[in-house]
Amino acid sequence: VPPPIRAGSWAAGMAGEIWATVVTDASFGDRRIPAAWAAWIRLDVFPEPIKRAGLFKSRMATSVEAEIRAAVNGVALAVARGATHV
């Protein structure tokens, strides 16, 4: 009998479970400066983290909105790379 598959291991990815750690941040300024976001994503099946950043296409009303949208972008990137648990 093979040993059980430990969650978060490479074998878990082979079993269809891929765990991700997502760290995001956003910048928010006045109306003259566009808001920006960044994400650092570590998937347990890839050796290197995924790093992405960019400007938001629309204006943010508050810094809270910018932070939430940054988190959504990060999670969406993780899911697009196959993450099943974020």
**Cα–Cα distances in angstroms (integers) from residue 35 to residues 7, 22, 39, 76, 82, in the given order:** 36, 19, 14, 19, 28
d(CA 57, CA 55): 6
Q: Half-sphere exposure of residue 38, counting CA atoms within 13 Å on the CB side? A: 6
pTM of model > 0.85: no
Q: Do β-strands 20-27 and 36-43 pair in parallel, antiparallel, or remain unpaired?
A: antiparallel
Could you tell me what percent of the chain has a pLDDT over 90? 63
CA-based max dimension of the chain:
63
pLDDT at residue 59 greater than cutoff 70:
yes
pLDDT at residue 73 greater than cutoff 70:
yes
